[in-house]
Amino acid sequence: MEIKVLHQVMEWNQDVSERVKQTLAEHRVCLINMMGSPGAGKTSLIAALIERLRGEFAIGVIEGDITGQIDAEKIAALDIPAVQLNTDGACHIEAMSIEKLLPYFDLDKLDVLFVENIGNLVCPAEFAIGENFRITILSIPEGDDKVAKYPLMFTETSCLALNKCDMLPYFDFDVERVRGDYRGVNPGGPLFGVSAKTGEGMEKLAEWIAGEIRAALA
């Protein structure tokens, strides 16, 4: 019975996701779903990407959190339209929440909408939210066994950003192990080693994302 209900929720979520995608396409807005563990550095990475992409694109951000508005405040401080979505306990964002938040943005003045999902390496991967593409963020301190242990998050993504690469000297982290596991579940998926903090690798990641945005808006 539990499984049956899960299917119903997911089918309904899929319908709403398609509707969100359609609405955004009409306004020529590209939605990017940013996912990763708590503390992987999602907000910092979005801030570092904004810095590199705002010259070409008008950007908005939806910050998903269980509670509070810490992250939306960080983004708003960059003078970027930001809305905080509180899931009040829920471990992932559903498409219906995004649909309800779209009216808070002037979509005709936006090219890109980043959505920072709840910090969680499991559930968000199962729920489409109207995104054009997904970026999964894994940080060095989390360990190199995470692709093997949480495969869906790395299968159902368009790109893997390996964040906090400046911490590689301090952790036993085998990048080649991650690369191999990632290739196993997501052949052809690009992997970028970056540090949102030092800026290392950020240009290449931003370039790749810009290319995807251009393709989505073409």
Site for a second copy in 99-158 (CB under 8 A): 118-123, 126, 139-143, 145-146, 148-152
Closest contact distance (angstroms) between CB of 189 and a second copy is 18
From the list 142, 140, 143, 148, the residue with the least C-alpha distance to 182 is: 148
The smaller minimum CB distance to a second copy, of residues 24 and 178, is found at: 178
What is the contact mask toward a second copy in residues 19 to 58, using x (rule: CB under 8 A)? ------------------xxx-------------------
| Residues in contact with a second copy, shown as a per-residue x/- string from 56 to 95 under the rule CB under 8 A | ---------xxxx-x------------------xxx----
Q: Which is nearer to a second copy, 51 or 156 (CB)?
A: 156
DSSP H helices, 54-119, are 70-76, 95-101
Nearest to 121 by CA among 157, 88, 86, 72: 157
# residues near a second copy by CB under 8 A: 36
Q: Which residues contact 158 (CB under 8 A, 6 or more apart)?
A: 133, 134, 135, 189, 212
CB atoms inside a 10 Å sphere around CB 178: 23
